[in-house]
């Protein structure tokens, strides 16, 4: 079912990504759905890394409260309300659909990143026909080293908050956080690249 994102309030910037701009990516290798290990810090040129909490699987239920959108239930402390958990598949599809344009704008590599294991991610990559690999930070190595914004859900553990990064020669040159609506994530990156030619 398509979500009318325009009818929902956008998440507010909580400042948890403020430290990332201009920081260097640590030399951590992450397993990839193309059966390789990727060290983002070692990649030359420009890379886009979009980060998402988790993708669901057809026929399987999401954790309780997963579809709660920021701002719709005031005065509650449910963690998903602050993070906007819903929308990981639309975000991935936005990068799939804009991959060629991103490459035409000088992007050498595109990756998605979550804390799900590689086998779980591989199902999503195949089902969504992603033309780029997904990376797994299941052990939270990159998340801890970079102090990436995270949240915790009892049923699934620690998850990454949604964002997108433009990385150039191992250094973050642009941070998109928070990302809303999720399906507009890639277009936001495209617009940035076009304005910074």
**pLDDT, tens digit, 9 for 90 and up, residues 166-181:** 999 999 999 999 998 8
Give the residue extent of every domain in the chain. Answer: 14-57+65-195
Q: Which residue did the predictor score with more confidence, 70 or 112?
A: 112
Q: State the pLDDT at residue 34.
A: 96
For domain 14-57+65-195, give the fold.
Answer: Glutaredoxin (3.40.30)
Average pLDDT, the chain: 84
Q: State the pLDDT at residue 11.
A: 76
pTM of the full structure: 0.83
DSSP assignments along 13-77, one per residue: P-STTTT-TTPBPP--EEEBTTSSEEEGGG--SEEEEEE-S----TTSPPPTTTTPPTTSSTT--
Mean pLDDT computed over 145-158: 89
Q: Is the pLDDT of residue 82 over 50?
A: no
Q: State the pLDDT at residue 67.
A: 44
Q: If DSSP codes are grouped into helix, strand and coil, which group holds residue 137?
A: coil
Q: Which residue did the predictor score with more confidence, 134 or 180?
A: 134
Q: State the pLDDT at residue 3.
A: 58
**Tens of pLDDT, residues 8-26:** 667 789 999 999 999 999 9
Pseudo-torsion of CA 69, 95, 56, 177, nearest 10°?
-40
Reported as a pLDDT band with limits 50, 70 and 90, residue 71 is very low
């Amino acid at each position: 079912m398509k979500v009318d994102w325009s009818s929902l309030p956008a998440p507010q910037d909580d400042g948890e990504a403020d430290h990332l701009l201009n920081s260097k990516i640590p030399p951590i290798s992450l397993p990839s759905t193309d059966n390789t290990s990727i060290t983002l810090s070692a990649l030359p040129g420009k890379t886009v890394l979009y980060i998402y909490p988790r993708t669901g699987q057809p026929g399987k239920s999401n954790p309780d409260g997963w579809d709660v959108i920021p701002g719709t239930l005031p005065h509650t402390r449910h963690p998903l309300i602050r993070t906007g958990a819903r929308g990981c598949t639309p975000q991935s599809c936005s990068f799939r659909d804009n991959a060629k344009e991103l490459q035409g704008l000088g992007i050498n590599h595109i990756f998605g990143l979550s804390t799900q294991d590689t086998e779980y991610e591989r199902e999503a990559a195949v089902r969504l026909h992603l033309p780029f690999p997904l990376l797994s930070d299941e052990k939270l190595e990159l998340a801890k080293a970079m102090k990436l914004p995270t949240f915790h859900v009892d049923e699934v553990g620690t998850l990454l908050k949604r964002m997108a990064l433009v990385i150039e020669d191992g250094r973050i040159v642009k941070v998109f956080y928070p990302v809303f609506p999720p399906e507009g994530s890639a277009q936001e990156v495209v617009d940035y690249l076009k304005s910074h030619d």
